[in-house]
Structure 1
Amino acid sequence: MLKGIDPRLNADVLGALRAMGHGDVLIISDTNFPSDSIARQTVLGELLRMDNLTAGEAAEAVLSVLPLDTFIDDFAGRMEIVGSPDEVPPVQAEVQAAIDAAEGKPRPMVSIERFAFYDLAKSAYAVIQTGERRFYGCFMFRKGVIGPDE
């Protein structure tokens, strides 16, 4: 255990988050997402796991150390529900709440069509597969910056 580090973050996840640079994309996926095959195509090239967590729990842990990009509107995204792109199911509402808490204000995710999400995930820095079993528990986070001490 380390002081100040969420214990849900394992060493592999922490290493990837630390290695990412400004603008790099992280995918947090549910158990049904083709995580392994897509992760092989990412910059990291291997799948990261947070198996025993929901998407909301994983997002909360990740956002405890990962700054989100403040320069763009697509700083975070959710996979759209096929045939109902504006619907926000509970799993997505939970991740939105984690984003809002981390940001200190409401900051809505963009929606990403399912196959566009798959394409985006292939070019991501890394994929983290969670234990989330609810459908459409797939998210994109774009890393921001931490400014200098003043």
Structure 2
Amino acid sequence: MLKLIPPIISPELMSILMRMGHGDELVIADGNFPAESCAQRIVRADGHGGVELLDAIMTFFPLDSFVDHPASVMQPVDEVATDPPIWAEYQRILTRHEGHDVELRPIERFRFYDFAKSAYAIVATGETAVYANLILKKGVVSW
């Protein structure tokens, strides 16, 4: 155990976050996402939700300020779920940690899978909310 590191951040996840470089992408995948078949590197976070993990990850993770959309979500396939409630939670967390509004860019389902396959790593969560998949592009730390 270390001070100030949320216990939801496993040693494996912290290692992944530390090894990522500027422009690398991290996928936070819900429980229905085909994480194992898409991942170059995978971190299992079964039993944890996407909201709690995102909040903990954003304690350390700078978003890329050199791109228009450093955060992307999977666009719903069905018209009933056009604006999944978890997106508002994600946006609130990103905005709080970044200090400015962060827009979530919807990406078509199969394009999202393609992006996920090229991501640095996928965090496979136990999130049960629909369309709770999120891609984050890492930025640089500048104080």
TM-score, normalised by the number of residues in structure 2: 0.94
Matching of residues 43-54 of structure 1 within 5 Å: 44=41, 47-54=42-49
- The alignment status of 1:10 with 2:10, answered yes or no, reads yes
- Give structure 1 stretches of 5+ with no counterpart: none
RMSD: 1.6
Deviation for aligned residue 1:85 = 9.9
Moved more, 96-105 or 110-119: 96-105
2:30 maps to 30
Supply the distance in 1 between the matched residues of 2:31 and 2:23 (Cα, whole angstroms).
Answer: 25
2:101 maps to 106
AA paired with 2:122? V
Identical positions, percent: 41
- The alignment status of 1:81 with 2:76, answered yes or no, reads yes
Moved more, 121-130 or 52-61: 52-61
Supply the distance in 2 between the matched residues of 1:93 and 1:84 (Cα, whole angstroms).
Answer: 18
Deviation for aligned residue 1:109 = 1.3
Supply the distance in 1 between the matched residues of 2:76 and 2:92 (Cα, whole angstroms).
Answer: 19
Deviation for aligned residue 1:84 = 3.6
Question: How many residues get paired?
Answer: 143
Supply the distance in 1 between the matched residues of 2:85 and 2:123 (Cα, whole angstroms).
Answer: 20
1:69 maps to 64
AA paired with 1:69? D
Contact kept? 1:73, 1:110, Cα under 8 Å: no
Runs of 4+ in 1 over 4 A off after TM superposition: none
* Paired residue secondary structure (1:78): strand
